[in-house]
Amino acid sequence: MRILPIASGKGGVGKSLIAANLSVAFAQAGKRVILADLDLGASNLHLIIGCRSPQTGIGTFLSDTRSDFSRVIMDTDIPNLRFIPGDAEIPGSANLKQNQITALAKRLLSVDADILVIDLGAGSHQSILDFFLLSGRGIVVSTPTVTATLNAYLFLKNTVFRLMYSSFSRGSPAHIYLEGLRKEGTALQKLYIPKLLEHISRIDPESHGKFLKRMQYFHPRLILNMLDEPKQAEVALKIRRSCSEYLGLDLEHLGVIYRDSLQDIALASHLPILLYKNEAILSQAIYRIADKILQSEEDEVFLEGRSIEESFQEAELEAEVDFEARMGYVEDLLHCGALSMGDLVETVKSQQLEINQLRKENLFLKSKLTKAITQGFKI
């Protein structure tokens, strides 16, 4: 079974929409798919795939981890797709204890499916990192905004630290060293990983070797969502360079997805965009990404046939092609009268407001980074 955790450093980047629609694409390809809503505390994935309000969910199982897990797996109206609802209303469901994480992970790994898609919550809580690490080929979703790309990088950095921490046996010199830093009040996430690993290799070569071995199987993938123009696709290169230089991590690029107003209509209709309009630009991007995933090798084996460099070059080309198709689609709507000039003007005004807000956000973050650099802080 392939395991596909989908995460993001922050909310509002379209992670759940991508998880739902990828699941539909896999199901349409004849795969037996289970989609699990692990965005605990904000579970609404059932609305996206058009399911009735679930009576049971993850919270039901967590209240009694010895119960039959199959009772929280429900059928959907989409052939080949089953669904595990989350629970947004059960107190504490977003902050799981370690025994709950272990019990839930064990049940998820034993479900009968070809592909398990896991929609994770936003942020870097320990439970989210642990579920993301159920596979070495998880997906991180970002948008071109400064905050989203920074949070995507920080999510991956936190994941590397989690992988590091879990690689060191309790009582080993490396584990004692990390615990010492933590007790001193040092935020591990602020440490420079290459320098930290260099020190660990000297004090505990065995633990260092274990971590490097596990890193060989950790190759996360990126999807850049909500693009407005091809130039924004270049943001992915910045995330890649940061991961390579500061984390020693190879990041594969699965592709880009343009912003599409049809998504809002599909969501209001409680339908995945693939079912609402499968020829939409957004739908075609989802199908393309799904094909790449299905054509890749098994979960824990790193892609060798298609290099990392090629994946980024391919994504840039797709950004150009989709942008041309998107512009042609707008022209068709104008010519046939489905979209008035007034609608187009309002859309441009709305996007201009968003751009101005992003500029303010960018200036604010730049000032914070400048201040941090002057104080000798290094992300």
pLDDT tens per residue across span 126-178:
889 999 999 999 999 999 999 999 999 999 999 999 999 889 998 999 999 98
Confidence of residue 303 (pLDDT cuts 50, 70, 90): very low
In terms of Cα–Cα distance, which of 193, 119, 187, 181 is closest to 156? 193
As a whole number, the mean pLDDT across the chain is 83
Question: What is the structure's pLDDT at 123?
Answer: 86
Domain residue extents for the chain: 2-322
CATH number for 2-322 (one of 1.10.1740.10, 3.20.20.150, 3.40.50.300, 2.40.160.40): it is: 3.40.50.300
Kind and range of the H or E run holding 4 = strand 2-8
Cα torsion angle, 201, 207, 213, 214, sign: negative
298 Cβ contact partners less than 8 Å away, ≥ 6 residues apart: 2
Contact 150, 70 (CB under 8 A): no
Structure tokens at 33: 């798919």
Question: What is the structure's pLDDT at 353?
Answer: 62
Structure tokens at 282: 């957004």
Does residue 46 or residue 326 have the better pLDDT? 46
How large is the average pLDDT for residues 21-38?
A: 96
List, in sequence order, every residue forming a beta bridge with 142; answer none if it has no partner.
224
Does residue 372 or residue 299 have the better pLDDT? 372
Phi/psi of residue 225, each to 5°?
-110, 160
- In this structure, how many other beta carbons lie within 10 angstroms of the beta carbon of residue 114? 16
How large is the average pLDDT for residues 63-86?
A: 90
How large is the average pLDDT for residues 235-246?
A: 92
Confidence of residue 300 (pLDDT cuts 50, 70, 90): very low
256 Cβ contact partners less than 8 Å away, ≥ 6 residues apart: 223, 224, 225, 227, 233, 236, 285, 315, 318, 319, 322
Q: Is the pLDDT of residue 345 over 80?
A: no
Q: Is the pLDDT of residue 270 over 90?
A: no
Does residue 368 or residue 45 have the better pLDDT? 45
Phi-psi region of 12 (alpha: psi -120 to 50; beta: other; left: phi over 0): left
Structure tokens at 10: 């922050």
How large is the average pLDDT for residues 193-197?
A: 89
Give the neighbor-by-neighbor strand order of the sheet with 221-227: 74-75, 81-84, 33-38, 115-122, 2-8, 139-142, 221-227, 252-258
Contact 7, 155 (CB under 8 A): yes
Structure tokens at 264: 């809002």
Least confident of 10-14, 55-59, 265-269: 55-59
Q: State the number of CA atoms in the 13 A half-sphere of 207 facing the CB.
A: 25
How large is the average pLDDT for residues 338-351?
A: 54
Confidence of residue 238 (pLDDT cuts 50, 70, 90): very high
List, in sequence order, every residue forming a beta bridge with 252; answer none if it has no partner.
221
d(CA 97, CA 13): 27
Question: What is the structure's pLDDT at 82?
Answer: 96
Confidence of residue 186 (pLDDT cuts 50, 70, 90): low
Kind and range of the H or E run holding 139 = strand 139-142
Instruction: Tell how far CA 62 is from the center of its chain.
Output: 24
Confidence of residue 9 (pLDDT cuts 50, 70, 90): confident
Question: What is the structure's pLDDT at 327?
Answer: 62
How large is the average pLDDT for residues 96-122?
A: 91
